[in-house]
Amino acid sequence: MAEKRIKVLVAKPGLDGHDRGAKVIALALKEAGMEVIYTGLHKTIDQIVNIAIQEDVDVIGLSIMSGAHIPLTRKLMEKLKELGIQDKKIFVGGVIPSKDIPKLKEMGVEGVFPGGTPIEEIISAIKASVKK
């Protein structure tokens, strides 16, 4: 099926107002041949999940700089489970201390990209996850 494209939702949950990084990543993913939707700032987890359903994305990338990555990600994973859409691949990026990475992975997050992760690494991780 040659026409299949990877569809990615770049989401900004919670209170922080910094989306430079999220936008840079969104454009880089587009350059890598993906179809990318950006939610805009200050979305609730419910809104993000709703958008993910309507857009039928393969991947949700949360960009979190506020330090609330653990509770926000947990809430997302619970919501996805509740709605029966665990087939989406979840990535988390932003200001993430390395000690939290195992916790996020335990919740079912596919990959974690702390600030400064090379974009090529993000692209290949997303491509690999969708192929699985």
Partner 1 sequence: MNPNDLAERIISGDEKAASRAISMIENGEETGFEVLSKLYPKTGTSFRIGVTGSPGAGKSTIIDRLAFCYGKKGKKIGVIAIDPTSIKTKGAFFGDRLRLKNAEKIEGIFIRSMAHRGFSGGISKAALGAECILEALGKEIIIVESVGVGQTELSISLISDVVITVLTPDFGDEIQLMKAGLLDIGDIIVMNKMDIPNAEEKAKDIIHYLESIKGEISVPLVKTIARQGQGVELLIDTLEQEREKKLKEEKENKEKIKTLVIALIKEEMEKGIEEMMEKNITFNDLLAQVISKKLDPYYMARLVVSNILKNGKLEETLG
Q: Where does this chain bind partner 1 (CB under 8 A)? A: 1-5, 7, 26-27, 29-40, 47, 51, 53-56, 83-85
Smallest gap from residue 3 Cβ to partner 1 (A): 5
Pairing of strands 35-38, 7-11: parallel
Residue whose CB is less far from partner 1, 77 or 85: 85
**Other beta carbons less than 10 A from residue 117's beta carbon:** 15
Rounded Cα–Cα distance for residues 81 and 87 (Å): 9
**Other beta carbons less than 10 A from residue 31's beta carbon:** 11
Residue whose CB is less far from partner 1, 2 or 106: 2
Residue whose CB is less far from partner 1, 50 or 117: 50
Smallest gap from residue 47 Cβ to partner 1 (A): 8
Smallest gap from residue 100 Cβ to partner 1 (A): 29
SS3 13: strand
